[in-house]
Structure 1
Amino acid sequence: MQFCTLGPYELIHAALVAKGFQVGRQRVVRLMAKLGICAHPQRKFKATTDSKHDLPIAHNILSRDFKTTEPDRAWVADMTYIWTSEGWLYLAVIIDLFSRRVVGWSMAEHMRTALVLNALKAALGQRIPSQAGLLFHSDRGSQCASGDYQTALLNAEITPSMSRRANCWDNAVAENFFVSLKTELVYSRIFSTRVTARIIITEWIEVFYNRQRIHSSIGYLSPAQFEENYWSTLEQSMAA
């Protein structure tokens, strides 16, 4: 399955250059205008955060510091909804701020704690933080604030951090991921079943987003390529 990114002309230009095309930015702008290519407009999102509870809330330790110099030092988490002909499908994701890679995700027909717990288990199943003290930032919803979830973080020696009330900018990286998912994939099709949605969204995340989609925040590289460059550079410096 092929996916495309209808993003700003900077991303289109960077993608063309990466594929070996010799083309200037202004030419990309002219060609996109001539062909009628533009970014999908953003839509309003349905709120999925239930912060009206009496569960303990962690301090906002991340404090919008979305840059890290090593993998698995700071993760951000959030969840969203996808409509299918069978009803809502909910998606929880965990993103490594270092490379913007989605390191864990989970989908279910509900928004209960099990949804976010399974995403955390998936992340810890494929990533092993080298040091204790991994910072984990989420919203203050009841799922992430629940005792089961906080116990799972504690057992993994992960430090929780939560956004301030009704402040989506405190978790902007996760919010931006969902904007990309919705505008580049979800809004352009109708999922007939939840199973179909799961298959297509999984492929979009693992094959396209993590391995092909370039990001301006990491030098117009894909998350996988950015991490490969990091480990290659580290190995070379250790061998020197």
Structure 2
Amino acid sequence: MGRRSAYPEEFRRDAVALYRAAGGKRMYAAVAADVGVTGETLRSWVRQADGVAGRGPRNEQAAEGQDEELVRLREENKRLRRAEAPVAAGARDPAPGGRVFRSRGEVRTRRWDFISAHRAAFGVKRICRVLGVSRSGYYRHLATEEAHAEREAEQERTMAEIRAVHLEHNGAYGAPRIHAELRAQGRKTNRKRVTRRMRVHGIVGRHLHRKKRTTIPDRTAPPVPDLVHRDFTASALNTRWCGDITYVSVGSSWLYLATVIDICSRRVVGWSIADHMRAELVTDAVEMAVAARGGRVHGVVFHTDRGARYQSAVFAEVCRRHGIHRSMGRVGSSYDNALAESFFQGLKRELLHGRRWTSKAQTRLELFRWLTYYNRRRRHSAPGYLTPAEIEQQLITSPTLSHVT
């Protein structure tokens, strides 16, 4: 009998679905990096899933090779198209009779070039008199022409990088996170400049304004103290967690998402997605978090609201078995679980807002994709615009930043 996987079945199933959804456009290593496992681990999960579905290993291996070859050919095709794009004669020529320059900008942008082109034949003084411009203006233009050209080229490069980051993160990032992403890529640019260029070009992140209360407390449950008191900070991993439940409309039905977030790093260490609101929804999320931390969670404080699932006997027993101390805020106060509320606001703003979902399988896949993206690539404002993965790596490798032994 093989060794039991440290990853829950739900996680492995969703990771396989994410790889298959790529349709051969992404290799194992690329998808595995997003999920947070090795390429070989993901490959073995896909093989196991194909075995359950009735596919033989020989067929899976052949399909795997075809997928990776297809990825290589597509990338090669893109490269060839980019190389051939400038070859077409006149591809970027303006239309005959069209206006090449901006309104009232024809003379202003070209007069200095005209003077330079004809100065040898007529002299600068005569041409400036005919055009009605000053010689000092012309010589000032010559002195600053190179600097102007460099500045314009720099602005074009900055805008191209801003658009690339904005597109890469599905239009969710605003100026602060785009600036942080550019800095992480080694691009030294001012945050105010990024904000100004985005405003001029109409590039904005996503925003939400509406809120809805969903917590239904159990008035008969034993009282649980508030051990956090709105202090959503932690100096080490696995000392404080928080969690909550949200729902996603899918056609005429619902999917529910329960989360467990490490307050120190903001990483979602556990989650569960289901079409029911039974206590198993929250206990499965806790079990995943425990597995993700290698079972070393004794003494961690898990803070939630006073929803009926978190006050259930089943949930209390799971926490007791793992040595987790329960903590709950007051009823009807979103500030008492502000970090979990903020997480769901980000989810709704960046993934759910403005989209209509009709398939539970596709919705589940998109939720899983966003959760793995959130953990490994999304930058957070509170911890200096680092990703949860970067924060945890720093805490693990630097003894001055972590109290973890």
**TM-score normalised according to structure 2 size:** 0.55
Quick check: 1:6–1:37 contact (8 Å CA) kept in 2? Answer: no
Residues 174 and 206, structure 2, Cα contact 8 Å, conserved in 1: no
2:234 aligned with 1:58: no
- Give the 5 Å matches for 1:104-123: 104-123=270-289
CA shift, 1:8, in A, is: 4.1
**1:150-165 superposed matches below 5 A:** 150-165=316-331
Equivalent residues of 1:13, 1:23 under 8 A apart: yes
Greater share of strand: 1
Contact 2:394 2:401 in 1 (8 A): no
Give yes or no for contact 1:94–1:103 (8 Å, CA) kept in 2: yes
* Conserved 8 A contact 1:80-1:91: yes
Matched residue of 1:20: which SS? coil
Task: Tell me the equivalent position of 1:212.
Answer: 377
1:223 and 2:392 matched: no
What is the CA–CA distance in structure 1 between the aligned matches of 2:359 and 2:237, rounded to whole Å?
35
Question: Structure 2: how far apart are the matches of 1:6 and 1:36?
Answer: 14
Contact 1:86 1:194 in 2 (8 A): no
User: 1:188: how far off?
Assistant: 4.1
Contact conserved, 2:243 with 2:340, CA < 8 A, in 1? yes
Q: Find out whether 1:33 has 2:199 as its counterpart.
A: yes
Q: 2:188 aligns with which of 15, 19, 22?
A: 22
1-structure distance, mates of 2:171, 2:260: 21
1:135 corresponds to 2:293: no
SS at match of 1:89: strand
**Deviation per residue, 1:133-187 (Å, 9 max, x gap):** 1101000011000011011111111111001111110111110100110001111
Secondary structure of the residue aligned to 1:80 is strand
Distance 1:188 1:80 in 2: 17
Q: Which amino acid aligns with 1:16?
A: L
Relative contact order (C-alpha < 8 Å, sep 6+): which is higher? 1
In 2, Cα distance between the equivalents of 1:131 and 1:122?
Answer: 12
How many residues align? The count is: 237
Which aligned pairs between 1:198-209 and structure 2 lie closer than 5 A?
198-206=364-372, 208-209=373-374
User: Does the aligned pair in 1 maintain the 2:255–2:273 contact within 8 Å?
Assistant: yes
CA-atom RMSD, angstroms? 2.2
Q: Distance in 1 between matches of 2:219 and 2:389?
A: 38
d(CA) in 1 for partners of 2:351 and 2:184? 22
Secondary structure of the corresponding residue to residue 165 of structure 1: coil
Cα deviation, residue 212, structure 1: 0.5
Structure 2: 5+ residue stretches without partners: 1-21, 23-167
Aligned with residue 257 of structure 2, among 64, 87, 91? 91
User: 1:165-215 CA deviation, whole Å, 9 max, x = no partner?
Assistant: 111101111101001100011114322211111111111111x10000111
Report the structure number with the largest CA radius of gyration: 2
SS at 1:217's partner residue? coil
CA 1:73–1:236: 2 relative to 1, 3 Å: closer
User: What displacement does 1:236 show?
Assistant: 11
Q: Distance in 1 between matches of 2:186 and 2:226?
A: 43
SS where residue 141 of structure 1 aligns?
coil
Partner of 1:68: 234
| Alpha-carbon shift at residue 129 of structure 1 (Å) | 5.9
Aligned to 2:344: 178
Taking the aligned partners of 1:78 and 1:236, their CA distance within structure 2 comes to: 28
Deviation at 1:77, TM superposition (A): 0.7
2:356, 2:203 → 1: CA distance?
A: 22
In 1, the alpha carbon distance for the partners of 2:208 and 2:401 equals: 43
4+ aligned runs moved over 6 Å, structure 1? none
- The 8 Å contact of residues 171 and 206 in structure 2, kept in 1 or not, is answered as no
Which amino acid in the other structure matches residue 217 of structure 1? A
Q: Is the 8 A contact 1:74 1:98 kept in 2?
A: yes
> Contact (CA 8 Å) 1:59, 1:162: kept in 2 or not?
yes
What SS does the aligned partner of 1:143 have? coil
Identity of aligned residues (%): 36
Please give the alpha-carbon distance, in whole angstroms, between the structure 2 residues aligned to 1:209 and 1:236. 22
C-alpha distance 192-154 of structure 1, shift in aligned 2 (>3 A): same
| Alpha-carbon distance between aligned partners in 2 of 1:190 and 1:122, rounded to the nearest angstrom | 29
How big is the shift at 1:131?
6.0
Q: Is the 8 A contact 2:171 2:204 kept in 1?
A: no
